[in-house]
Amino acid sequence: MLKTRVITALALMALLLPSLFWLPQSGWALLIALFAGLAAWEWGRLLGWEMPGRVALGIAAALLCAALSLIDPAAIGAAGFRPIQPWVQAFYLSSAFFWCLIVPFWLRGRWPLGGLPGVLVGAVVLLPTWLAVVQLRALGPAVLLAVFAVAWVADIAAYFVGRRFGRHKLAPSISPGKTREGAYGATVGVLCYGLLVGHFCFPALMPLPLWIAVLLVAAVMNIVGDLFESLLKRNAGIKDSSNVLPGHGGVLDRIDSLTSMLPVAAAMWLFFLHADS
């Protein structure tokens, strides 16, 4: 298993890292559209769909993302960069509303996922994530990697703190392996990482209290996204969203926390930082 995980990780790095730094922005948008299509195909499995429906959902999601990037290249940074567009704002606001106001009640009630509402939820989860990955990369590959690292730091800190100090379950009916101590560790890890990055790389980005608030929101969103996909998989009776990434599960398994954190991060940049520039 470890060997398989390493080989898959190296293959992904060989594809994504050169693309991140050298692919033109339009090509990057189309590549991430492909991953969005794979995630949508996996989302169909969470809905309990059979393969033809899942394939159709995946193709539709990939084509929609590709069409948006071709119709409005300025919004994704492929022809100049004018990111504040009505459809962009609608994507991010719907995502923020869903993750901040709907998902907490969803986790508490452990609602099922299915039918047309399930498709709409998938759109709210996946489309803003595609957009955030594309727009943040337009600010520079290092910016996108720095945002990705928030999720990586949170996961690593939660794992080691949870293993060493974990005593109290965070959400035992959803994800029995997660602990409150691990969540606290993830939050502290994100704060330490963010303060260091902010001090050395973006010293004039925003006032320190606001930056701390942003980091706390990012840490919470990371945890919420992880729990939400765990709930969906538990309700669907599956362990992984697919086996498209041998040793790692599926695309959704790798981006579960990013689906909640990335759109919120991009929205904060768009509405609070870019709006002032």
The pLDDT tens digits for 24-72 are 999 999 999 999 999 999 999 999 999 999 999 999 999 999 999 999 9
Note whether 180 and 168 are within 8 A (CB): yes
Q: Nearest CA to 250 among 7, 1, 8?
A: 8
Give φ, ψ of 179 to 5 degrees: -125, 160
CA pair distance 5, 106, nearest whole angstrom: 32
| Dihedral angle computed from the Cα positions of residues 71, 76, 77 and 82, in that order, rounded to the nearest 10 degrees | 80
Mean pLDDT of 165-190: 91
Mean pLDDT of 166-176: 88
pLDDT digits (tens, 9 = 90+) for 117-164: 999 999 999 999 999 999 999 989 998 998 999 999 999 999 899 998
* Mean pLDDT across the chain: 90
So what's the pLDDT on residue 51?
A: 92
Mean pLDDT of 15-31: 93
pTM of the model: 0.93
DSSP state letters, 165-223: H--SEEETTTEEEEEHHHHHHHHHHHHHHHHHHHHHT-TTSS-HHHHHHHHHHHHHHHH
Q: Give me the percent of the chain exceeding a pLDDT of 70.
A: 95
Note whether 49 and 56 are within 8 A (CB): no
143 alpha carbon, distance to own chain's centre: 15
Q: Give me the percent of the chain exceeding a pLDDT of 90.
A: 61
pLDDT of residue 277 exceeding 70, the answer is: no
So what's the pLDDT on residue 274?
A: 59
Angle (CA) 77-124-132 rounded to 5° is 25
Mean pLDDT of 245-253: 84
Paired tokens of 194: 């963010």
Mean pLDDT of 257-266: 90
So what's the pLDDT on residue 273?
A: 61
Number of domains in the chain: 1
pLDDT digits (tens, 9 = 90+) for 77-92: 998 889 889 999 999 9
So what's the pLDDT on residue 1?
A: 56
Residue type, 263: P
Structural domain that includes position 57: 2-276
Note whether 49 and 242 are within 8 A (CB): no
pLDDT of residue 247 exceeding 80, the answer is: no
Mean pLDDT of 222-248: 89
DSSP state letters, 12-81: HHHHHHHHHHHS-HHHHHHHHHHHHHHHHHHHHHHTT--HHHHHHHHHHHHHHHHHHHHH-GGGGTSSS-
Paired tokens of 195: 């303060």
